[in-house]
């Protein structure tokens, strides 16, 4: 699992590459939270297009970051075009509370 | 009738989650699964193995047994641990139920297994361990040979 974490004004943009499971989610969680809290950011954008695998550990990771966002009165958006990831997201009910965009640009514009 | 079988034992380490997925995917590949079918069984195996590590052995050291059987165009997968067991299986299977909410678990594991596979059976005894048996038919293979 490889992630890049970048600041865009008061948004935190996280791009994933590889497999997001219980094993990889621990370190990912630490990296995201550290950047988000240390820099006092507001919104989180998760680009999941590079994921080749995700299970319910990914759902737990997204839910946890979403709660942090709510606490900071921020918003969360997801960038995705991957059918497997979409299937899990749908099942989790997360798509009822988080918008999904096809590109980073559209996610940033609409947040 | 086409038949095949495999059995594997490994330590309850989180780095073995991807190992278990890859093994089952490689074994299932003889059934010519579609990409979606393959990703469905990898996800289901990942859920069961992760549960054995987090809940069964509660991050301690134990052996996880993975078995897979192919009969014609169906695969049966068994994931077994000798850990703490499940007291209330019905409750455990409810969507969003988790006994470890503080660990950011979503409680979706069994729901994912049920949805992605054709059938799911759980056998468990408190203090003795848990067996998760899942089956899935692959539509891609027409057993014509
Ligand atoms: N192998 C097991 N041994 C003991 N208890 C288990 C086992 N598998 C599942 N459980 C119990 O069943 C509950 C539900 O499991 P499920 O996989 O659906 O959710 P979760 O693991 O808590 O969260 P998630 O899978 O979304 O990360 C668990 O919280 C746990 O209490
Ligand atoms: Mg689980």
- List pLDDT tens digits, range A60-106: 999 999 999 999 999 999 999 999 999 999 999 999 999 999 999 99
Average pLDDT over residues B118-144: 89
Distance CA A56, CA A45 (A): 19
Q: Which two three-digit tokens encode residue A67?
A: 């709660």
Choice from A55, A56, A61, A89 to test ligand 1 binding pocket (greatest atom count within 8 A of CB): A56
What DSSP state is assigned to residue B14? Answer: T
Residue B78 covered by a domain:
yes
What ranges do the domains of chain A cover? 2-109
Number of domains in chain B: 1
Residue B142 covered by a domain:
no
So what's the pLDDT on residue B139? 84
Residue A78 near residue A101, CB atoms below 8 Å: yes
Local confidence band at A25 (pLDDT 50, 70, 90 cut-offs): very high
Q: Which residues surround ligand 2, an ion (CB under 5 A)?
A: B 51, 109
Q: What is the pLDDT of residues B35-92, one digit of tens each?
A: 999 999 999 999 999 999 999 999 999 999 999 999 999 999 999 999 999 999 999 9
Local confidence band at B140 (pLDDT 50, 70, 90 cut-offs): low
Which position has the token pair 């470890």?
A: B100
So what's the pLDDT on residue B142? 53
Q: Count of residues for chain B?
A: 145
User: Measured between CB atoms, does A60 come within 8 Å of chain B?
Assistant: yes
Torsional sign, CA B133, B139, B144, B145: negative
Q: What is the pLDDT of residues B102-123, one digit of tens each?
A: 899 999 999 999 999 999 999 9
Q: Domain of B85: which CATH number?
A: 3.30.565.10
Nearest-CA distance from B98 to chain A in Å? Answer: 11
CA-wise closest residue to B66 among B136, B9, B124: B9
Which ipTM was obtained for this model? 0.94
Average pLDDT over residues A46-56: 98
Give the helix ranges, DSSP H, for B64-108. 89-93
> What are φ and ψ of residue B73, in 5° steps?
-100, 25
Local confidence band at B144 (pLDDT 50, 70, 90 cut-offs): very low
First and final C-alpha spacing in chain B: 10
Q: Which two three-digit tokens encode residue B103?
A: 């660990």
In sequence order, what are the residues at sequence separation of 6 or more whose Cβ sits closer than 8 angstroms to the Cβ of residue A111?
A11, A43, A45, A75, A77
So what's the pLDDT on residue B2? 85
Give, in degrees to the nearest 5, the angle at Cα B16 between B11 and B20: 105
Domain ranges, residue B101: 2-137
CB A5: neighbour CB atoms within 10 A? 14
Q: What percent of chain A has pLDDT over 90?
A: 97
Q: Chain B interface, mutation test: which of A29, A51, A52, A55, most B Cβ atoms within 10 Å?
A: A55
CATH of A2-109, one of 3.40.50.920, 1.20.272.10, 3.40.50.300, 3.30.750.24: 3.30.750.24
Torsional sign, CA A30, A31, A36, A38: positive
> What are φ and ψ of residue B141, in 5° steps?
-90, 120
Task: Sort strands A76-79 and A43-54 into parallel, antiparallel or unpaired.
Answer: parallel
Q: Is A34 exposed, middle or buried (0-12, 13-18, 19+ CB in 10 A)?
A: exposed
Give, in degrees to the nearest 5, the angle at Cα A5 between A27 and B16: 25
């Amino acid at each position: 699992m490889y992630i890049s974490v970048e600041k865009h004004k008061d948004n935190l943009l996280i791009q994933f590459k590889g497999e997001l499971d219980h094993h990889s989610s621990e370190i990912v969680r630490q990296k995201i939270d550290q950047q988000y809290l240390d820099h006092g950011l507001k919104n989180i954008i998760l680009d999941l297009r590079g994921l080749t695998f995700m299970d319910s550990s990914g759902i737990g990771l997204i839910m946890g970051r979403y709660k942090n966002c709510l606490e900071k009165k921020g918003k969360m958006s997801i960038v995705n075009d991957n059918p497997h990831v979409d299937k899990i997201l749908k099942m989790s009910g997360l798509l009822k509370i988080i918008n999904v965009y096809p590109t980073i640009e559209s996610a940033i514009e609409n947040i | 009738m086409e038949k095949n079988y495999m059995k594997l034992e490994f330590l309850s380490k989180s780095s073995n989650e991807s190992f278990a997925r890859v093994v089952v995917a490689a074994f299932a590949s003889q059934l010519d699964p579609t990409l979606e079918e393959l990703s469905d069984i990898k996800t289901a195996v990942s859920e069961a193995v992760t549960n054995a590590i987090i809940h069964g052995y509660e991050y301690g050291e134990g052996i996880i047994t993975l078995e897979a059987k192919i009969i014609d165009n169906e695969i049966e997968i068994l994931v077994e641990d000798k850990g703490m067991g499940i007291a209330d299986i019905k409750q455990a299977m409810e969507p969003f139920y988790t006994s470890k909410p503080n660990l950011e678990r979503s409680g979706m594991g069994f729901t994912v297994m049920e949805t992605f596979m054709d059938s799911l059976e759980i056998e468990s005894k408190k203090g003795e361990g848990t067996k998760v048996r899942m089956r899935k038919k692959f539509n891609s293979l027409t057993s014509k040979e």
